[in-house]
Structure 1
Amino acid sequence: MTQSPFSPGVTAGRLDDAALRENFSDLHPALDAHEALVAADRCYFCHDAPCVTACPTDIDIPLFIRQIATGTPDAAAKTILSQNIMGGMCARVCPTETLCEEVCVREVAEGKPVLIGQLQRYATDHLQGQGIHPFSRAAVTGKTVAVVGAGPAGLSCAHRLAVLGHDVTVFDAQPKPGGLNEYGIAAYKTPEGFAQAEVDWLMQVGGITLTHDTALGTDVTLEQLSAQYDAVFLGMGLGGVNALGVEGGDKAGVLDAVDFIADLRQAGDLTALPVGRDVVVIGGGMTAVDAAVQSKLLGALNVTLAYRRGRDRMNASVFEQDLASSKGVRIMTHVVPKAVHGNGSVREIEFEYVNDEMSGTGQTVRVAADQVLRAIGQTLEGDGLPALERGKIAVTGAGRTSVDGVWAGGDCATGGDDLTVTAVAEGRDAAMDIHEALTGAAQ
Structure 2
Amino acid sequence: MTMKTIGDIATGRLAQDQLACEFADVAPLLDATAAAAAASRCFYCYDAPCIQACPTQIDIPGFIRKIGNGNLKGAAVDILSANPLGGMCARVCPTEILCEGSCVRNHPGDKPVAIGALQRHATDRAMARGEPLFSRAPDTGRRVAVVGAGPAGLACAYRLALAGHRAVIFDARDKPGGLNEYGIAAYKTVEDYAQREIEWLHSIGGIEIRTGMALGRDVTLDELRTQYDAVFLGFGLAGVRELGLDGETLGGVMNAVDFIEQVRQADDLASVPVGRRVVVIGGGNTAVDACVQSRKLGATNVTMAYRRGVENMSATWAEREFAQTNGVGIVTHAKPVRLIGVDGQVTGVEFERDAERFVIEADIVLKAIGQTLVPVGVARELLTLDGGRIVTDENRQTTLPKVWAGGDCATHEGLDLTVQAVQDGKLAAASIDASFALTAIKAA
| TM-score tier after normalising by the smaller chain length | over 0.9
Match 1:371 to one of 364, 373, 376 = 364
Match 2:431 to one of 422, 433, 436 = 433
Q: CA deviation at 1:387?
A: 1.2
1:284-335 alpha-carbon deviations (Å, 9 max, x no partner): 1110000000000000010000111111111010000000000110001111
How is 1:403-414 mapped onto 2 (pairs within 5 angstroms)?
403-414=400-411
- The answer as to 2:386 corresponding to 1:393 is no
Q: CA deviation at 1:252?
A: 0.7
What amino acid does structure 2 have at the position aligned with 1:41? S
What amino acid does structure 2 have at the position aligned with 1:347? T
The residue aligned with 1:235 is 234
CA, structure 1 residues 327+441, in 2 after alignment: closer, same or farther (shift >3 Å)?
farther
Q: CA deviation at 1:283?
A: 0.6
CA RMSD in angstroms comes to 1.3
TM-score normalized by the length of structure 1: 0.96
For structure 1, the 5+ residue unaligned runs are 354-360
TM-score normalized by the length of structure 2: 0.96
How is 1:44-443 mapped onto 2 (pairs within 5 angstroms)?
44-108=43-107, 110-343=109-342, 344-353=344-353, 361-381=354-374, 382-385=376-379, 386-416=383-413, 417-440=415-438
The residue aligned with 1:357 is none
Count matched residues. Answer: 433
Give the Cα separation in 1 of the matches to 2:377 and 2:430: 27
Q: CA deviation at 1:109?
A: 6.5
What amino acid does structure 1 have at the position aligned with 2:223? Q
1:206-255 alpha-carbon deviations (Å, 9 max, x no partner): 00000001111121111111111110000010101011100111111100
CA contact (8 A) 1:145 1:169 kept: yes
CA contact (8 A) 2:238 2:372 kept: yes
Q: CA deviation at 1:441?
A: 9.0
The residue aligned with 1:12 is 11
Identity %: 54
Give the Cα separation in 2 of the matches to 1:439 and 1:110: 52
CA contact (8 A) 1:435 1:441 kept: no
What SS is found at the alignment partner of 2:96?
Answer: helix
CA contact (8 A) 1:235 1:408 kept: yes
Give the Cα separation in 2 of the matches to 1:235 and 1:29: 31
Give the Cα separation in 1 of the matches to 2:7 and 2:261: 22
CA contact (8 A) 1:182 1:196 kept: yes
Give the Cα separation in 1 of the matches to 2:7 and 2:131: 50
Q: 52-61 or 384-393, which moves further after superposition?
A: 384-393
Q: CA deviation at 1:368?
A: 0.4
What amino acid does structure 2 have at the position aligned with 1:84? N
What SS is found at the alignment partner of 2:292?
Answer: helix
Q: CA deviation at 1:170?
A: 0.1
Give the Cα separation in 1 of the matches to 2:63 and 2:431: 26
CA contact (8 A) 2:3 2:13 kept: no
What SS is found at the alignment partner of 1:105?
Answer: coil
CA contact (8 A) 2:4 2:12 kept: no
Give the Cα separation in 2 of the matches to 1:254 and 1:42: 47
What SS is found at the alignment partner of 1:135?
Answer: coil
Give the Cα separation in 2 of the matches to 1:91 and 1:441: 37
What SS is found at the alignment partner of 1:400?
Answer: coil
What amino acid does structure 2 have at the position aligned with 1:365? F
Q: CA deviation at 1:66?
A: 0.4
1:55-93 alpha-carbon deviations (Å, 9 max, x no partner): 000000000000001110110000000000000000000
What SS is found at the alignment partner of 2:106?
Answer: helix
CA contact (8 A) 1:133 1:201 kept: no
What SS is found at the alignment partner of 1:106?
Answer: coil
